[in-house]
């Protein structure tokens, strides 16, 4: 069974620090990797996606993918209290539905 694993947290970081969120997946055929943010009581919203090994940066967010290690991470630089949320990792391949991890809760203290 295909699995996507995330540390449930909570991950607590002070304001201004770097938050590092990690995700591992079991299917070596996975092709696409997504990070969603979900505030309490709200629906998931896309932060970014990555398809190739290496880093992809978008503002304060950097996604890192290492297919050999079956590992994807999300770095949030200069963390803000507004970044406090649950972060969902999703993994997919063509023709099959995305598989979501259970999410990591991030708490940023001011």
Partner 1 sequence: DAGITQSPRHKVTETGTPVTLRCHQTENHRYMYWYRQDPGHGLRLIHYSYGVKDTDKGEVSDGYSVSRSKTEDFLLTLESATSSQTSVYFCATGQGIGTDTQYFGPGTRLTVL
- The binding site for partner 1 (CB under 8 A) comprises 31-32, 34, 36, 42-46, 49, 51, 88, 90, 92-98, 100-103
Q: How far apart are the first and last CA of the chain?
A: 41
CB of residue 44 to partner 1, shortest distance in Å: 5
Q: Which is nearer to partner 1, 42 or 77 (CB)?
A: 42
Q: Which is nearer to partner 1, 19 or 35 (CB)?
A: 35
The span from the CA of 33 to the CA of 76, in Å, is 17
CB of residue 96 to partner 1, shortest distance in Å: 5
CB of residue 65 to partner 1, shortest distance in Å: 14
CA distances from 107 to 7, 17, 18, 79, 93 (A): 14, 12, 12, 10, 31
Q: Which is nearer to partner 1, 77 or 102 (CB)?
A: 102
Beta bridge partners of 44: none
The span from the CA of 48 to the CA of 33, in Å, is 9
């Amino acid at each position: 069974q295909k699995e996507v694993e995330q540390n449930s947290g909570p991950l607590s970081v002070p304001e201004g620090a770097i938050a590092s969120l990690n995700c591992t997946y079991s299917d070596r055929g996975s092709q696409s990797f997504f990070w969603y943010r979900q505030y309490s009581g709200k629906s998931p919203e896309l932060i970014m996606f990555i398809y190739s090994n290496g880093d992809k940066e978008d503002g304060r967010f950097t996604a890192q993918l290492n297919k050999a290690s079956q590992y994807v991470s999300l770095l949030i630089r200069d963390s803000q209290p507004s970044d406090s949320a649950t972060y969902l990792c999703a993994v997919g391949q063509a023709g099959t539905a995305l598989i979501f991890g259970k999410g990591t809760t991030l708490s940023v203290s001011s």
